[in-house]
Amino acid sequence: MAQFVLSGRIFDVVLACVLIEIAVLAACRLARARVGLAADLLGHLCAATGLLLAARVSLAGAWWGYTGICLTGALAAHVAALRSGWERAHGRGLTPLRRTFSPRS
């Protein structure tokens, strides 16, 4: 079992589970006549995939730049997911605080 974890194969199993989760969620949304996954959910799943890939390539002993690329991709996906959730919760644009604390209100 230790060899299975230290070789990085455990991350392959988890990545396969994440891909299955994406497929199941997409199928459920299509069955309910909704097209595509919610952008923030897909962003969070992509961020998790980037983190898993970073751990996988790091354990495999690959070039350190691959780990950095995976982490940068995970960060970009996470920021996109947060922005999508923010826009959905507060309307379009990233300025809800200005509207909340404006002197006219």
Are 41 and 18 a contacting pair, CB within 8 Å? no
Residue 97: pLDDT band (50, 70, 90) is low
Query: Which DSSP category does 93 fall into?
Result: S
Instruction: Report which of residues 67 and 94 the model is more confident about.
Output: 67
0.75 surpassed by pTM: no
- Give the sign of the dihedral formed by CA 12, CA 59, CA 69, CA 40: positive
Q: What is the pLDDT of residues 35-51, one digit of tens each?
A: 656 767 888 889 999 99
Distance between CA 74 and CA 54 in Å, rounded? 9
Q: What is the pLDDT of residues 21-39, one digit of tens each?
A: 888 887 887 777 666 567 6
